[in-house]
Amino acid sequence: MRHNEKVTQYITTSYVTIKKENMNINIATIITCFNRKDKTTSCLAHLFEATNNYNIQHSQLPIELAIFLTDDGCTDGTAYAVKNICKGKNLHIIQGDGNCYWAGGMRLAWEEALKSKTDWDFYLLLNDDTLVSNEVFEELLATHTYCLKTFGKPGLYSGIICDINDESIITYGGEKFHSKLQGRSYNINPSATPQEVDMTNANILLIDRNVVDKIGIFYKGYIHGCADYDYSMTAKKNNIPTLTTAKCCGKCEYDHPSGLAEIQKLMSMSFKQRKRYVNFPTHSDKDYLLFVKRHTPKRFIFSWILRKIRIISPKIYYKVCLLRNMEGY
């Protein structure tokens, strides 16, 4: 029996199976960072605390955690600080050139994890501005158990995340579509049981190894954004269960501008400034349009035209969005 099959069998029996020799849950944590030293180290500190908390309660099947972190050209001492906080930990720092951005940095770290000889049971994708709760592994593995019992196969599991200052506000996790054709969706709130969703964020995303064996890692076409949405929707297309945890299991500030705020920003720019803005990787139209083309191709032409109008005349773009009741613009 493969190690992963032993772990799956163990987890699905609610942690009462007799301990087997050298049994543990091997998790490769995938992170990328750029000049956010304090946030990155705080993220890792919370992760290690959660791991210790889990292992104290489940010493019969402890988590063996490895960190694969892309340092995408940090100049603020992030790598040094990470090495300090990770002393004695299984840490792998992969050096980026400053042009990986989020999607590229996550792919680079993930590829390094795949090269490892370790028989990973799960891959944990984690944003470096996210603070996991002490119960994060309880929630994620409970969702895994629910998935196996409900669907008869493993999937991917997104942790519901609340605002760092207001736990009543859900910032990330999973989303369902109001209208897939229009690209309108809403966040899923905590509930009594895990919930199926249409797409997920990767602030906290636990992925069973069998999922990676089937669909691989992030699609190479993405530079910065949309890669997590794409991955979860690709999983759905391949009949892989895509779930959120039942409860919140982390905190993170929602740091993306609202559609209205971005339109107002574009209105204040010159045409040349707008062109530079929409072509910059951290808010590139390319990632968004690639996502639309891959998952809602029927609206690609319309979306492409709208994005061109957004550059030429943000005011007209805004009016069109209002007429079509397009949330997020």
Q: Each residue of 251-293: pLDDT tens digit? A: 999 877 677 788 888 989 999 999 999 888 888 899 999 999 9
- Please state, in angstroms and rounded to a whole number, the distance separating the CA atoms of residues 259 and 326: 10
Half-sphere exposure of 287 (CA within 13 A, CB side): 23
Q: Please provide residue 30's backbone torsions phi and psi, each rounded to the nearest 5 degrees.
A: -110, 120
264's CB contacts (< 8 A; 6+ apart) are: none
CATH topology of domain 3-251: Spore Coat Polysaccharide Biosynthesis Protein SpsA; Chain A (3.90.550)
Express as a percent the part of the chain with pLDDT over 70.
89
Element (H, E) at 259: helix 259-267
Block residue for tokens 């191709």: 297
- Which residue's entry shows tokens 């119960």? 135
Contact criterion met (CB below 8 Å) for 68 and 29: yes
Closest CA to 155 of 64, 231, 252: 231
pLDDT band at 327 (very low <50, low <70, confident <90, very high): very low
CATH 3.90.550.60 placement within the chain:
3-251
- Determine which helix (DSSP H) or strand (DSSP E) holds 94, and give its type and residue range: strand 90-95
Q: How many residues does the chain have?
A: 329
Name the CA dihedral angle for 194, 199, 202, 205, rounded to a multiple of 10 degrees: 30
109 closest CA partner among 209, 28, 25: 28
DSSP assignment, residue 281?
G
The pLDDT tens digits for 25-84 are 999 999 999 999 999 999 999 999 999 999 999 988 999 999 999 999 999 999 999 999
State pTM to two decimals: 0.90
User: What pLDDT digit, counting tens, does each position of 119-153 carry?
Assistant: 999 999 999 999 999 999 999 999 999 999 999 99
